[in-house]
Amino acid sequence: MSINNEQRKTYYESIIKNGYNRRDFMKFTTYMAAFMGLESTMVGQIAKSLENTPRLPVIWEHYQECTCCSESFIRSDHPIVADIILDRISLDYTLTLMAASGHQAEAAKQETMNKYKGEYILCVEGSIPLGDDGNYCCIAGKSAKESFLEAAEGAKAIIAWGSCASNGCIQAAKPNPTEATPIHKIVKNKPIIRVPGCPPIGEVMAGIIVHVVAFGRLPELDRLGRPKAFYAKRVHDSCYRRPYYDAGLFAETFDDHNAKEGYCLYKLGCKGPMTYNSCGTIKWNNGVSYPIQSGHGCIGCSEANFWDNGPFYERATKVPGLEEEGLADDIGKVAAGVLAGGLAVHAVAANISKRKELMSRIRRGKSNEKNIDS
Amino acid sequence: MANRIVVDPVTRIEGHLRIEAEIKDGKIVDAYSSSTMVRGIEQIVKGRDPRDVWAFVQRTCGVCTTVHALASVRAVEDALDIAIPANAEMVRNIMEGSLYMHDHVVHFYHLHALDWVDVVNCLKADPKKTSEIAQSISSWPKSSPGYFSDVQRRIQKFVESGQLGIFANGYWGHPQMKLPAEVNLLGVAHYLEALEWQKEIVKIHTIFGGKNPHPNYLVGGMACAINSESPGGLNAERLAMVGKLLKEGKQFVEQVYIPDLLAIASFYKDWGAIGKGFGNYMSYGDFPTNGYADLSSFKFPQGVILDRDLSKVHDVDHRNGDIEEFVNNSWYNYSDGDDKGKHPWDGETNINYSGPKPPYDFLNVEEKYSFIKTPRWKGLPMEVGPLARLLVGYGRGNKEIQDAVNGALTHLDVPVDALFSTLGRTAARGIETQLVANWTMGFYDTLMNNIKNGDERMANMNSWEPKTWPAEAKGVGFMEAPRGALAHWIRIKDGKTANYQQVVPSTWNASPRDPKGQRSAYESTLIGTPVADPELPLEIIRTIHSFDPCIACAVHLYDEHGNHISQVQNIASCER
């Protein structure tokens, strides 16, 4: 899909198209200046900038979540978040950072939805509870589902931040008391980028925004709707402790001699072998470390249903993640629908040879695990 | 004359909360606080391995990330009688201390400052004068006129773009915005600097816990094994990085946060008489230096202060029946009736929404109106948070805390009474950040000394295997989260979690009324808050933000007769 700034109408263009003349436009900018409390001398400058290209408008919704995704986003090192929100996008609605509250906040969102219909990016943090008619999460008196459907309707594309929006995460763990639901099960006719992780790595989140803004298109997605650039590898395959796994050297318990030597944490429950994420490559907080490097196994937080794939400290015996194929096909269909609509989306391609390689790796890993047991 | 409005949601907080209030003659005369989101985490952890629970409950909050993990591992360790190694205690303290620095700075600049600092007005500032002010209050090096004019130019370009993004529809030009343009420019510059700085201090969590938000914890200690002689564990390089980050964090607190806080507060001294509340304060105490069991070793002492009487501090007991939770006004049911309270060890979380069907304009506050339960200490409402911690420390005669508090009062030239207020809450947060920054340097030194003396233990794994556990056990993990007193209560049966209850700071502060009709802290402190322009309820969010809420809010104002009507846009027609 093309996110082309040139294609988006400027204020000036849309005003002229709607039958207003330049004089009306200047009146509008004077009103804008008064509204923003600016000197009249700045009217000319506002008019000039409104005639030019606007930044990509973004609406960021918060439903059933803990705000760790927003927190991770502001941890991004490159680019830093100030540069993103001042120079790259126009973050018009986010409960975490925006100055306005209540009606003023909702009005800002409404304005973006009206003015940039079909143009804005909708980011969703959190799952949507469908239980009890949606009573379990309300904002401004509206249910999360209603609010999401409204915002999704005019969105050009949707980013599902984190495991909550992508997979349901903690609140969807058994017994899922509120019927917490990931967003791709609610809206099917929009391109959705799933960015799982609890939270996702800050630089990954920023990287996706940069991809959209700088390249003018959505990133290429894998079978599960995740950007390939960040979710193509298992943590296990990029783990610096992998040689210990291959050599059969494992920590037997926390803080033992082997743990202090930095041996593989597989026997302590590390879910790196079945988790697709960038933790081993990009690492966390500008490359400082990642869970395994700091001595704790991966809990698999970017995989669907990871809360129910535990216990965390028990050695994993199966490799899930492939049972979601049906879901991946759904996403493929969505992408195809968007293509038919004339937008240039990078197709979600099934890579059969890669799959074969993966299966053989899993087989190799399993035979290795058998050796460990014996 | 009566004004009525709806403010929904209040932003720059975590979560989803809603407050309905009554306004008369420009002041709030009553208020109702309600959370409108529930996930059921206490139900989800039932039946799970108690050693896993920290990770589940950590996801209660990603802003004050780690506090629920810490409360959880403490609860399990308490239940199973596990004493953690001294190094693990110091690492947990360092992580918590750096969280305080991070959380309080982010709260001040990114969640609270826009209530006091007028972003758009900074365009009128003379950068030279801003530079003079900055240099007169701090030795922070980024203070040249050129620096401030660059920031101003950047904001100007941003505003001229016509897309105000996160600053759109803010309260710019509101009569309650009292800062000179030059101080506004200082605030905006440091808003951006703090945004960049905050991603550094969290790297301490990344070193010890592998990531931030949501670093990893471990029942029995910490997973980050020390090995001073190997690349495989915490070695000199890793620890040196922690030391550097702590030093830089402390510098930012001392040279940017505290001077800005005092400078901005000096223009808002009238807020030392607003947002008083009922005057009961509680702290559980935290930062143990000789084990969790030795309360006397805690840097923040525990205690309760009643009716602002600092001369008497009462003890807190988490194990007897002093602390109870009520659901008479909450969307839950108790199996034996909703009129009595339950101690958290016997607590229940049975969700039962009985509010209006969305979309709705108003809640029925005469009945149940929140997903937050109502906790009470000996039947009394308690305010928790930085102010409560400092007051309890003050009342306990802790010299360090007394000096810090007195120093700030002298600097601002305000009376002791000004502490019990919106301004006091915001100032207390800064004062304690300085204290915690100092202490955390001490925890770091202790850790380094232990390693120097050959102690490299990081986890006590003696009771790791469930087969070593008693058939039944119960424990409590309490702590002081940045937002206030936090505790988790666990019951373990046959190696599984049989019951789990969390009573979090915002449960104390943001809860609905109890069966006696007593208000909790938000509801109580909003009373008397002046509202100059009900269409722009800046004053309400100032007081609400002074608590650093961990839940998203919606604030409603009723008329004096309790007749609520709809939205802000109706305000002009419904006056009088």
Query: What is the C-alpha R_g of chain B?
Result: 24
Inter-residue contact B424 to B272 (CB < 8 Å): yes
Q: Which residues of A touch B354 (CB under 8 A)?
A: none
Tell me if B44 and A174 make a contact (CB, 8 A cut-off): yes
**Cα dist. A109→A88, A162, B508, B553 in Å?**
18, 22, 32, 17
Residue of B nearest to A254 (CA): B223
Q: Which residue has the higher pLDDT, A332 or A7?
A: A7
- Residue A296 near chain B (CB below 8 Å): yes
Question: How far is Cα B524 from Cα A7, in angstroms, rounded to an integer?
Answer: 52
C-alpha neighbours within 13 Å on the C-beta side of residue B342: 22
pLDDT of residue B376: 98
* Tokens describing residue A48: 């000039």
Q: CB-based contact (8 Å) between B240 and chain A?
A: no
Mean pLDDT of chain A: 82
* Model confidence pLDDT, tens digit, residues B174-206: 999 999 999 999 999 999 999 999 999 999 999
Question: Which of B298, B383, B396 minimizes the C-alpha distance to B96?
Answer: B298
To the nearest whole percent, how much of chain B has pLDDT over 90?
A: 83
ipTM higher than threshold 0.90: yes
Q: Looking at the predicted structure, is the pLDDT value of residue B570 above 80?
A: no
Is the four-CA dihedral A110, A112, A114, A115 of positive or negative sign? positive
Strand segments (E) across B344-495: 374-377, 472-481, 484-493
The pLDDT confidence band at residue A284, using thresholds 50, 70 and 90, is very high
Mean pLDDT computed over B145-154: 97
Domain ranges of chain A: 1-54, 236-322+355-373
Non-local (6+) Cβ contacts of A257 within 8 A are none
Selected for mutation to probe chain B from A255, A284, A296 (highest B CB count within 10 Å) is A255
Do the chains contact at A69 and B62, CB–CB below 8 Å? yes
What pairing do the DSSP bridges indicate for beta strands A120-125 and A56-62?
A: parallel
Q: In whole angstroms, what is the distance from residue B322 CA to residue A114 CA?
A: 53
Residue A314 corresponds to which tokens in the numbers above? 């028990």
Sorted by sequence, the CB contacts under 8 Å of residue A364 that are 6+ apart come out as none
**Could you tell me if A223 and A328 are in contact, meaning their C-beta atoms sit under 8 angstroms apart?**
yes
pLDDT digits (tens, 9 = 90+) for A320-362: 444 443 333 343 333 333 333 323 333 333 344 545 555 665 6
Q: What average pLDDT does this structure show over B349-360? A: 92
**Which of B169, B239, B462 to mutate: most A Cβ within 10 Å?**
B169
State the DSSP H helix or E strand holding residue B24, giving kind and residue range, or none if neither: strand B17-24
Q: Inform me whether the C-beta atom of residue B166 falls under 8 Å from chain A C-beta atoms.
A: yes
Distances in whole angstroms, Cα of residue B213 to Cα of each of A73, A99, B199, B385, B525: 10, 23, 10, 21, 31
Residues 6+ apart with CB under 8 A from B198: A74, A75, B102, B105, B106
* Nearest in space to A331 (alpha carbons), one of A218, A237, A233, A164: A218
Residue B267 tokens read as 């223009």
- The answer to whether the beta carbons of residues B387 and A170 sit under 8 Å apart is no
* pTM attached to this predicted model: 0.88
Q: How far is CA A302 from the centre of its chain?
A: 11
8 A C-beta contact, residue B530 and residue B40:
no
Catalytic sites of B, residue numbers: 14, 61, 64, 68, 483, 506, 550, 553
Contact A74 B199 (CB under 8 A): yes
Residue of B22, B60, B53 lying closest to B38 (CA atoms): B60
Closest Cα of chain B to A305: distance in Å?
A: 13
Domain A236-322+355-373 annotated CATH 3.90.110.10 = no
* A254 interaction partners in chain B (CB closer than 8 Å): 218, 220-221, 223, 225, 458-459, 461, 464
Beta bridge partners of residue B487, listed in sequence order: B478, B503
Query: What is the distance between the alpha carbons of residues B548 and B542, in angstroms, rounded to a whole number?
Result: 10
